[in-house]
Amino acid sequence: MSEPGRIVAGMLAPHPPHLVYAENPPQNEPRAECGWEPLRWGYERARKDLAAHPFDVIVVHSPHWQTYVGTHFLGVPHFDSLSVDPVFPNLFRFHYTLDVDVELAEAIEAEARGAGLVTKMMRNPDFRVDYGTIVACHMTRPEWDVPIVGISSNRSTAYYGVDVMQEQAAALGRATRRAIEASGRRALLLSSNSLSHRHFTAEAALPEDMSREHIYNHSQYLWDMQLIRMMKEGRARELIDVMPEFIEQAVSEADAGSLAWLMSALDYPEYPAEVYGYGTVIGTGNAVAGWFPGTPVDKTGEARA
């Protein structure tokens, strides 16, 4: 590839298995009647916009591959297995087959290691890819025809606090950007996480019964709207600044570092995100949003493909 690589888009791509369940893809064993349409239609609109931004690889950072020693990268070229969600096995038993861009994964790992982060390549062929990676990738690219780079969530927040997590995630984001630029790839980045993250601890008899679905509490909703407003107004640095309080107050899954990684990789966008949808899943707040670096901003202040 002669052209330098680049990030063509970054997405906030939440991973509730409920979304795949409600889509009824052939890979998933359980069947649904409906459910969580605002989010699923949001993903649908995101896919339409992404069609105008071809990409060679999806780089996904997932809170559900939790590593307490460093950041890990999928390092096996191909996986073919069954993913069963340990929390919602009644909804998600997904037969996946996917390719990994090991060359790019190794390049990001080397950049991250060079930046002082603790890293490791995952080379065990029996390893099961986590459902956070699979759901985000499936909802973004259900054709599964693009290789991925899977990045684990280093749980430094559990040891040191959110600030240290953010610094490490920011370093990882910069390393990701440098490796992509050097690779010649056109990359789509996925931050696979929800916003507010307090769950109900009971489930409706029919999981897709939308009469039972709502935000866990109003303060979570207010926090989610605050974050989304910042995304829509291109206030990424401010978003990072408030994230420790957001994580504390809204029990946010952003503590995994995925969103901080994405903002850093995108160099803290000052242009607006396209927010495709917001919805709750078993009480948690989820938004589908996209950033398109280098895309002209129209007069309404919204980025368009």
**Binding residues for another protein, per CB under 8 A?**
65-70, 72, 82-84, 86-89, 93, 118, 120, 122-124, 126-128, 130, 152, 155-159, 199-204, 212, 216, 255, 282-283
Q: Whole-number minimum distance, CB 86 to another protein, in Å?
A: 5
Q: Whole-number minimum distance, CB 84 to another protein, in Å?
A: 5
DSSP structural state of residue 74: E
Q: Whole-number minimum distance, CB 136 to another protein, in Å?
A: 17
Identify which of residues 50 and 100 has a Cβ nearer to another protein in the complex: 100
Identify which of residues 66 and 249 has a Cβ nearer to another protein in the complex: 66
Q: Whole-number minimum distance, CB 209 to another protein, in Å?
A: 9
Q: What is the largest CA-CA distance in the chain?
A: 55
- Is 24:32 a contact under the CB 8 Å cutoff? yes
Identify which of residues 15 and 177 has a Cβ nearer to another protein in the complex: 15
Q: Whole-number minimum distance, CB 70 to another protein, in Å?
A: 7
**Which residues on adjacent β-strands are paired with residue 289?**
12, 275
Identify which of residues 48 and 95 has a Cβ nearer to another protein in the complex: 95
Identify which of residues 117 and 146 has a Cβ nearer to another protein in the complex: 117
Q: Whole-number minimum distance, CB 223 to another protein, in Å?
A: 18
Q: What are phi and psi of 126, to 5 degrees?
A: -85, -5
Nearest of 18, 35, 258, 284 to residue 139 by alpha carbon: 18
Query: For residue 225, with 0-12 CB atoms within 10 Å meaning exposed, 13-18 middle and 19 or more buried, which class applies?
Result: middle
Q: Whole-number minimum distance, CB 160 to another protein, in Å?
A: 8
Identify which of residues 138 and 235 has a Cβ nearer to another protein in the complex: 138
Identify which of residues 231 and 259 has a Cβ nearer to another protein in the complex: 259
- What token pair was written down for 67? 């590593």
Q: 């809204």: which residue's tokens?
A: 250
Query: From edge to edge, which strands make up the β-sheet containing 186-191?
Result: 119-122, 71-74, 148-154, 57-67, 186-191, 6-12, 284-291, 274-281
Distance CA 57, CA 152 (A): 17
**Which residues on adjacent β-strands are paired with residue 74?**
122
